[in-house]
A and B are shown apart, each in its own frame.
Chain A
Amino acid sequence: MTSPALRVVAIAPGASLQDQGRVGGMALGVSRSGAADLIALHEGAALLSQPPGCAALEMPGAGGRFEVLRDIVVALTGASMPATCDGAALAWNASHHLRQGTVLEIGGARGGTYGYLHIGAGFDGPQMLGSRSQHVATGLFPALTAGAVLYAGTQTTKGGLTLDPADRWGGGTLRILPGFQTGLFPQDQQVRFASSAFRRDVRANRMGVRLIGDGDGFGTASGLSVLSEIVVPGDVQITGDGTPFILLNECQTTGGYPRIGTVLPCDLPRVAQAPAGAMFSFAFVTLDEAVSLDAAYRAHLAALPRQCRARIRDPHDIPDLLSYQLIGGVTAGDD
């Protein structure tokens, strides 16, 4: 059973419910979708002591204002955003108990791109192929707007936990596997690709992120006549203008642009979270290295619940500090 938990008073454009995405839709043209930053999804689940399959609210660039309809526990992860409950600051990368009748406000990202609001027992919503992930452009499901009521199950946790997030806010080196079309690119281009620096363009969304290089573009002899083929998240396609475009979880299921390789899942949260202007480079890895890196990534996600610790309140986080009777019991000193 789920019940109303939050009413949306205001919300950033593009905010959507996301879980780990759907399986089984590729053959029917349905994008996998799911959280752009799957590490953040797991961190939120860990802070709420619940399975990582729960749906969270993904907030690109900024959050919104939400009326709390009943006592709930929430967690905040991903790109850090200023958050308050009735004006009192809420720590990021932490879980909090919120009382019925209060107002939760989440502002603009201070680093990174996607912030996440998680709730005890997860947000409810329509499902397709076992997933609540929204893909509004294809009709899955109506966009969240002011006035919407978000439903959730009954939480079994109290909040008050925190963790230190893995640093993934500033670009870096992306590990990439060669694929069936890598060989379409001349050897010298492959070498140049792996030794070049790229800047994250302003053009980026849940489908993918465009990069800009300083040197010449990249391209294949067969150009744009490549047969349309299966596309998977992480694929780096070279578009008609010769620039790399890294596909994320909401990519289409097939595509006709040649792909120079596939970025490993462990590095995709860094791709999604990088702000415009962040610098990236690529390093080709072998299949064995890729499987090892993927195993380490999965182990990191599985270990997150053990890395949560009780949050100790910092005096700076207590807005009504002066109203506390901090000197009770102190005498005049003349007794």
Chain B
Amino acid sequence: MQSLAQISDFPSIQPMGVDGILVRFAGALNEPANRAALAFRAAVDRAGWSEVIETSSSLVSVYVRFDPHGVAHTAMAERLAGLLGAQDWFHAALPGGRRLVTIPTAYGSTLAPQLEEAATAAGVTPQEAIAQMSGTQVRVQTIGFAPGQPYLGALPDNWDIPRQTGLTPQVPAGALVVALRQFVLFSVAMPTGWRHVGQTAAPLFRPEADDPFLLRPGDEVRFDAVTPEAFDQLKRDPMGGVTLRGIA
């Protein structure tokens, strides 16, 4: 059976500004398109084209910034089309060097006050919600909006819940929020329309560290449940109790 992504106009190659091209694998988020974006970006990096300045992947796309005076847009688009045709990116192996990252998480309580509301929206009890969220191994689908800030998924179908209509004025750094079968783990305090269901002490971005970024696109993550009391202890750990292990 073909995936939804393959029976439409995707993948597409389009200019993005005078010095960029965007390769899109879908118009909506799905696992094969995210897999394709992660794998294709790694392939562009491996190709080592000297005119490429920077690459990045979003949920379902790959952005290639290049010097348009070193290689014409049409020539770069042809190179990308050639690479696209080299294999089925929707079923590609994920890039190497990925890790399984376990992040201790306090669900609910005053630390994460919207657990019950989110559980109701997902049609489960708060205890079932914790079991589902902590029991699902999710992938870093992309990092964006703020330094080191991951979008993760996918959660089970019943978590396809909308964002709330209003904004929560502020959730703290380390807040785990949920909507649309995705988590976002906030790297800095900010307002959000997603529901705050868990709190972590994960150091997503430490500008002063040798390696400032905890997570990379493609990493797998588990948000293990811990008690609020245990969370108080974790706050004293610079790593917030996070553990990492290579998987690929």
Residues on A close to B: CB < 8 A? 23-31, 126, 128, 137-141, 177, 179-180, 227-230, 232, 234-235, 252-255, 262, 264-265, 287, 290-291, 293-295, 298
Contact call B15/A287, Cβ cutoff below 8 A: yes
Contact call A23/B146, Cβ cutoff below 8 A: no
Contact call B59/A227, Cβ cutoff below 8 A: yes
**B155 CB to nearest A CB, Å:** 17
Please indicate which of the listed interface residues A29, A179, A232, A294 has the most CB atoms of chain B within 10 Å of its own CB. Answer: A29
Does B105 have its Cβ within 8 Å of any Cβ on chain A? no
Contact call A179/B14, Cβ cutoff below 8 A: yes
Range of interface residues on B (Cβ < 8 Å): 35 or more
Contact call A139/B53, Cβ cutoff below 8 A: no
Complex CA distance for A140 and B27, rounded to whole angstroms: 33
Say which residue of A23, A177, A254 sits within 8 Å of B15 (CB atoms).
A177
Contact call A27/B147, Cβ cutoff below 8 A: no
Q: How many A-B residue pairs have CB under 8 A?
A: 124
Which residues 136-168 of B sit at the A interface, judged by CB distance below 8 A? Answer: 142-149, 151
Q: Give 25 CB contacts A-B under 8 Å.
A: A23-B53, A23-B54, A24-B54, A25-B147, A26-B56, A27-B55, A27-B143, A29-B145, A29-B147, A29-B148, A30-B147, A128-B207, A128-B212, A137-B188, A141-B207, A179-B16, A227-B28, A230-B58, A232-B20, A232-B65, A254-B58, A254-B144, A291-B18, A293-B18, A294-B18
Complex CA distance for A298 and B70, rounded to whole angstroms: 13
**B181 CB to nearest A CB, Å:** 13
* Minimal Cβ-Cβ distance residue in A for B22: A180
Contact call A139/B17, Cβ cutoff below 8 A: no
Contact call A180/B12, Cβ cutoff below 8 A: yes
**B75 CB to nearest A CB, Å:** 12
Question: Contacts A227-B59, A294-B69; is A179 near B17 (CB within 8 Å)?
Answer: yes
Say which residue of B28, B61, B147 sits within 8 Å of A230 (CB atoms).
B61
Question: Contacts A179-B17, A264-B18, A295-B69; is A26 near B54 (CB within 8 Å)?
Answer: yes
Does B29 have its Cβ within 8 Å of any Cβ on chain A? yes
Contact call B205/A139, Cβ cutoff below 8 A: yes
Complex CA distance for A26 and B208, rounded to whole angstroms: 18
Complex CA distance for A30 and B145, rounded to whole angstroms: 8
Contact call B205/A138, Cβ cutoff below 8 A: yes
Please indicate which of the listed interface residues B20, B29, B58, B213 has the most CB atoms of chain A within 10 Å of its own CB. Answer: B58
For B15-52 the 0/1 string (1 means CB < 8 A from A) is 11111101010011100000000000100000000000
Complex CA distance for A287 and B147, rounded to whole angstroms: 31
Q: A26-B54, A27-B217, A252-B145 are in contact. List 20 more A-B contacts (CB 8 A).
A: A27-B56, A29-B147, A29-B148, A138-B147, A138-B187, A179-B17, A179-B22, A180-B12, A227-B29, A227-B60, A229-B59, A232-B20, A234-B17, A252-B144, A254-B145, A264-B17, A265-B19, A287-B73, A290-B18, A291-B69
